[in-house]
Structure 1
Amino acid sequence: MRYFAVTFFVLLSFSAFSQQTTVRGTVVNDNTLLPLWNINIVNVNLVRGAITDAKGNFEIEANVNDILLISSLGFQSIEIKVTNDWIKNKSSRIHLTEKAYALEEVVIPPYDLTGYLEVDSKLIPEKENYWYSISGLSKRYEGGENSPNAFSRVVGSLFNPADMLYNFFGKKPKELRKLKELKKDDKLMSLLQTKYDRETIYLLLGIDKKDLAEILERCSYSDTFAQTANDLQILEAISGCYEEYKILKKK
């Protein structure tokens, strides 16, 4: 019996140890086959991040069947599943394809400028977003651009018992835990500060573009914030909004 217990403990320890490892890879340009530097790698299951070095090499914590998002500006993003073969072979070669961009027409609005800064600064309209503070909360809320119903939308969003944000994370607790895991990985936080494509957000939270737009609207963030914030700011906004909503709901 003692032998069985020891054997079981050893096997259990080995199993726990073998579940998570470090995988390595090299990212190259599919056209030139040259190594690509500063490519972003995100493990969306473990919420870990890495960046390729000057030789295109990277290493990241991963389990079998974890999904890695490989992305960079100017290249088509790809999702790769970690396999037993990858872990067994220690390394993998990954090819990224360059994007083909078509330049869009740029329209310059007609302003009759005089050339004098003091005069021209008053001629060009400035968009202003209203911010509201709610007693007991440390964070301010954006109410949108020149909206007379901004404040009512903020309060309505926070106190609506059928709020989409609450329902979403109530059914997907794993996704909410991923938001908290972000703060444990400095590499991933730094990586997300440079990303604006929302691809990592979609994979981490299991949502699409429409869901994200509705979440930010429910949290009373303006279109300006949704369009200009980096991925880390978006994720922190969602996390903060949900945590404060839970406090208000308890009260």
Structure 2
Amino acid sequence: MKKYIGLLFVMLGLLGFAQEPQKEGAVRDFEALVINAQSNLPMESVHVVNLNQVIGTITDKEGKFSIQAAVNDTLYFSYLGFKSQKIRITNDMFKFKDTKIALTELAYALEEVVIRPYQLTGYLEIDVKNLPINTAYQYSISGLSKSYEAGNKSPGAVTKVLGAILNPADLLRNLFGKKPRQMRKLRQMKEDDEIRNLLASKFDRETLTELLQIEKVDIDDILSNCNYSKSFISTANDLQILDAISSCYEEFKVLNRGK
């Protein structure tokens, strides 16, 4: 009889251990399904980014995905033509493993676009003068691997470039200095292939702002102070923007090394 009572206590202990909630901070595989909110059909190739662990993945043909995560981590879902969504992982999601995330399709309203063709005369010398010219000159600095855009060519352009490299220091310190994790995230984002693939296909800065926890205006300010042209800031994809921010910060550190 004592033998059976002892066995009963052991089984109850194991059952209690199995039902113990996932401890916060413990990272493990998280699995779920992404569906279309309107049709309830699974969605393939949805980008899923863990904003805390800074890793990404995509859903398979059945809309399923698996990603490393911990309780209270935030997942960011992105798919072209659908509203991006964030969810926070709970203990129940790990326990039941039947979580479904529904994405809502966006309704796009196309505005009227007026196309104004160039007034060509047929005379090459005249027409060439009427075409717009990109005046964003680039200057290279010895010791740095990349050149910098400096706007219109002028005698003070090089001085402007040097000043632009140093001036972002305060801005970058304000944005990242008090949040050293953000710069670590920047490096992690550059190393994760899935995140890079996602950023290469996006132009809305949404994923960048979510990952770095900064505003879109901050991104524009950083690049503007690093002397990137307005045309680059407005037309570059999110991956190019990420590389530009990272390059600006790394080169600032090179110039200020030893100070």
CA distance in 2, matches of 1:18, 1:227: 38
Partners of 1:57 and 1:122 in 2: how far apart?
56
Give the C-alpha shift of residue 107 in structure 1: 2.0
Distance 1:197 1:41, change over 3 A: same
Deviation of 1:120 after TM superposition, in Å, equals 6.1
Q: What residue is the counterpart of 2:105 in the other structure?
A: 98
Structure 2-normalised TM-score?
0.82
Look up the match of 2:244.
237
Give the paired residue count: 236
User: Does 2:35 correspond to 1:28?
Assistant: yes
1:76-106, CA deviations, whole angstroms, 9 ceiling, x for partnerless residues? 1111111111111224101111111111121
Do the aligned residues in 2 keep the contact of 1:24 with 1:59 (CA within 8 Å)?
yes
Q: Deviations over 1:49-79 (max 9, x none)?
A: 1111222111111111111111111111111
Q: Is the 8 A contact 2:168 2:222 kept in 1?
A: no
C-alpha root-mean-square deviation of aligned residues, in Å?
2.6
1:147 positional shift: 6.0
Match of 1:126 in 2: 133
Partners of 1:51 and 1:58 within 8 A in 2? yes
Residue 10 of structure 1 is matched in structure 2 by: none
Aligned amino acid, residue 38 of structure 2 = N
* TM-aligned CA deviation for residue 154 of structure 1: 2.2
Structure 2: gaps (5+ residues)? 1-21
CA distance in 1, matches of 2:179, 2:190: 19
* 2:145 maps to 1:138: yes
Higher Cα radius of gyration:
2
The amino acid across from 2:238 in the alignment is D
1:157 aligns with 2:171: no
TM-score, normalising length from structure 1? 0.84
Equivalent residue for 2:12? none
CA 1:131 to 1:185, structure 2 compared with 1: closer, same or farther past 3 Å?
same
Structure-2 change in CA distance of 1:135 and 1:84 (3 Å) = same
Partners of 1:59 and 1:197 lie apart in 2 by 26
1:41 aligned onto 2:48: yes
Letter in 2 for 1:132: Y
Q: Find the counterpart in structure 2 of residue 78 from structure 1.
A: 85
How far apart, in 2, do the equivalents of 1:197 and 1:168 lie?
20
Q: Pick the structure with more strand per residue.
A: 1
CA separation of 1:174/1:18 partners in 2, compared to 1, >3 Å: closer, same or farther? closer
SS in 2 for 1:28: strand
How much does 1:207 deviate? 0.5
What SS does the corresponding residue of 2:150 show, helix, strand or coil? Answer: strand
Q: Give the direction of change, closer, same or farther, for the CA distance of 1:33–1:131 in structure 2 (3 Å limit).
A: same
Residue 174 of structure 1 aligns with which residue?
181
Give 1:136 shift. Answer: 0.9
- Shift of residue 168 of structure 1? 2.1
Cα distance in 1 for residues equivalent to 2:132 and 2:167: 34
- Partner Cα separation in structure 2 for residue 117 and residue 38 of structure 1: 49
1:213 aligns with 2:257: no
Q: 1:78 to 1:147 in 2, by over 3 A?
A: farther
Q: Deviations over 1:172-209 (max 9, x none)?
A: 10000011112432222222211222111101111011
Shift in alpha-carbon separation, 1:112–1:161, aligned structure 2, 3 A: closer
